[in-house]
Structure 1
């Protein structure tokens, strides 16, 4: 069944929408959650919560493309769970990807920084839109979905070191773009161990 058919089932409040969604996108959602949490039980909990949120949010929302919409929902749930568990020192799954970006993007602490964070998000979106399709996909999959570098390298058929260099160049490009946008961040793009 295509995405619009599934969304139509949600709008009709037909419970088979959940089964169709899980059948079509369950493994994708589980992969997103697993890459962030590294715990199968927690990842399955995130997928179940995402399905519940899909039931709760559709309607009124009507996503045209269900896969990215579900990916965002699952990722947000997984990040929230990771933060909760990280406070309890149980996980270390996101630390590698976040540490690669920490020098580029400062953490928001107050209202002014929250506003600057929103502006920074818009600037990064503009930067992403200017990238080629493959670089944009790689950057988002690495730093939004937290797909391990080795897995990405295997998918595109290059050695991990070569992809690490490419990701380093992308971070350097992001740093340069942010500096031109009058958002200089020290040490952006510093290559971390992979």
Structure 2
């Protein structure tokens, strides 16, 4: 079933929307959650929470890109779960990604002062300015939390090319944010 038909089911409040969503995207959502949580049961719980949040928000939301909408819910839910579960010892994946991006993103005090939406809009505009390949690599790494090796395999390129792309894109992002006076 295509995304528009599934979204129609949500608008009709038809519970088949959830089963269709699970059939189309369940494994991908669970994999995303697992990469963050490193726990099968927590990933499954996160996947189910994603369906519930989608049910609660559609309508009124009518996502243009359904999987991206679900992935954002899933990712945020997983990050929140990881934060709660490991307040003392941080998840290695989250720490690694945070460390990689810390050099080019404003510090948390600035983010509190600046509207989070403004920062995400600026980053979105930045990503539109880079090549499609670099954008895909960046999103797969920092939004979908995919390992460098998996990105290289999926795109049919070397791991070193993925790492170089991420390094250059982070540097360009830092420059872009600096020009926008967000750093």
Which segment is superposed worse, 119-128 or 150-159? Answer: 119-128
CA distance in 2, matches of 1:100, 1:90: 15
Q: How many residues align?
A: 182
CA contact (8 A) 2:36 2:91 kept: no
Aligned partner of residue 105 in structure 1, secondary structure = coil
1:98 pairs with 2:98:
yes
1:114 pairs with 2:115:
no
Distance 1:72 1:171, change over 3 A: same
CA contact (8 A) 1:108 1:117 kept: no
What pairs up with 1:154-169 in 2 under 5 angstroms? 154-169=153-168
What pairs up with 1:28-67 in 2 under 5 angstroms? 28-67=28-67
Offset of 1:117 from its aligned partner? 5.6
Which segment is superposed worse, 43-52 or 63-72? Answer: 63-72
Distance 1:124 1:64, change over 3 A: closer
CA contact (8 A) 2:141 2:147 kept: yes
Distance 1:106 1:181, change over 3 A: closer
CA contact (8 A) 2:137 2:162 kept: no
CA distance in 2, matches of 1:179, 1:4: 39
CA distance in 2, matches of 1:90, 1:105: 20
CA distance in 1, matches of 2:63, 2:147: 28
Long gaps (5+) in structure 2: none
TM-score (norm 1): 0.86
TM-score (norm 2): 0.91
Offset of 1:180 from its aligned partner? 2.2
CA contact (8 A) 2:7 2:58 kept: yes
Q: Deviations over 1:106-125 (max 9, x none)?
A: 3323xx64233634333222
- 2:122 corresponds to which residue? 123
- Superposed CA RMSD in Å reads 1.7
- 1:178 corresponds to which residue? 177
Distance 1:120 1:17, change over 3 A: closer
CA contact (8 A) 1:30 1:47 kept: yes
Relative to total residues, which structure has the larger helix share, 1 or 2?
A: 2
